[in-house]
Amino acid sequence: MLQLVKKIDFRFQCSSTALGVGNFGETGDNANYDVFDGERWTNQYVLDEQSVAEIAGIELIGPISPAGERDKLEYVRLRIDGEEYKHCNFNEMMAPPFSAYEANSNPFFGGAVRIGDKYEALPHSFCHNIGVPMLLGGDPTEAVPKVGPGMKISVEVGAPKAAEGGAAISNDFIVRLSVVQCRTTEMFKKLGEFYGWLGGNSISQDFKFMDLEENGDVAEYSVQKTVEMAENGAFTLDNWTELYGGLDARKPYIYPYIRYANNAAATTTNEEYVFTKTGSKVLHDEQELDWNFGKGEALKLQHIGVSPAEHQRYTRVYIQGRDSNPWSWTPDGAHNEFPMPLERTSPPYHYKGPASLGRGLIVWNTKANIGIKDDGTSIPAWAAPPTRGATVAVWGKEYKFY
């Protein structure tokens, strides 16, 4: 078998062991936080010493309260061999599960990849809201998280502090990962040759980064990089995690960039509210949507989702130096141009989000931010229901060139 495509369920039975307000929990912390390895429920999921894997996507099933509202999660994060994967920070509305019943136009299920002159379909229910994996024909620049031989895959979830709208989580939920595995160097070589990313013992990481909107001009930066899969003349899978998305990748590198922000303060009526730590507009580094980059680092924003507050009217991505930074219409209702993948209440409606940003918005050698604007009535700071504020989420890639 060239590759094994599977879904792995990480179960948090919070009805038995609640996740306290402001606390976090990880698979294996107790008997009620476990994982189904394909045969049985156990306390950990570990690759054997001849296998590698990529984690393409996250689906979240629950938690939903008896009142029909999704429990607020501070974060859902991967942990790879004990190390936090800080590049992906999901909340309760960003990772819908596949549904056979609802009309789901989410861009992160199924699809196809180009193999030579033909297209190969991805599994219909396969989730790739992190990226399309190389082991299924995806481009290396998708930078999907890599898991090396003998490494453990785990999930960590956090509940917000009470002051940030959090409460103890006592409803069960499952974090479902879409994973692709390949076993043995022989199968790995065949797979790499079939998809075209392996040449001999080397995997090319070359790419050209382009910004088509730099002050009316085109800017580009070429990267030439190769990861050798051989040591002392012998092919090894141990270097798999040095590829883009792997925790051992060295500059220049690419990682996923997935995060969300809540407004930590009330908006000033009819003025732009920027999700920045300046002035405590957001409270956590991983919620900041305010950037100032030189030539050595960049960001490509590919999708955006907004869960608007009652009095929200507009959202925009502002990039300094562009001829125009238009506002998009994002009211609380069906006319929201940037829908979030999930609604906050149950039934678990799936929307058409997140919205694609076309070829992507580039933040490079400039300043940029994401801002919202109210309709003349202030949007309250994020707090406990029913006074929820606004949520903005983004999906993209981050680059470090040198």
Structure tokens at 263: 């407004």
Q: Which two tokens stand for residue 87?
A: 């590049």
Check whether domain 255-400 has CATH 2.60.120, yes or no: yes
**Closest to 57 in 3D by CA, of 146, 174, 178:** 178
Instruction: Specify whether the CB–CB gap between 161 and 167 falls below 8 A.
Output: no
Residues β-bridged to residue 397: 256, 300
- Position 249 scores a pLDDT of 96
pTM of the entire structure? 0.95
The full set of domain ranges for the chain reads 4-185, 255-400
Q: What is the pLDDT of residue 265?
A: 93
- Residue 273 makes CB contacts below 8 A (sequence gap 6+) with 263, 265, 267, 281, 371, 372, 373, 374, 379
Alpha helices by DSSP H, 73-209: 185-195
pLDDT of residue 345: 79
Q: Tokens for 108, please give them.
A: 């992160």
Q: Any residues with CB less than 8 A from the CB of 314 and at least 6 apart, and which?
A: 327, 328, 329, 330, 372, 373
Cα 162 → chain centroid: 25
Q: What is the pLDDT of residue 212?
A: 82
Q: What is the pLDDT of residue 348?
A: 57
Name the one residue in this structure whose structure tokens are 């229901």.
385
* CA–CA gap between residue 137 and residue 144 (Å, rounded): 12
Residues of the chain with pLDDT under 50: none
What is the pLDDT, as a whole number, of residue 321? 87
- The 10s digit of each residue's pLDDT in 77-107 is 999 999 999 999 999 999 999 988 776 567 8
- Reading the block at residue 145, the tokens are 């998280």
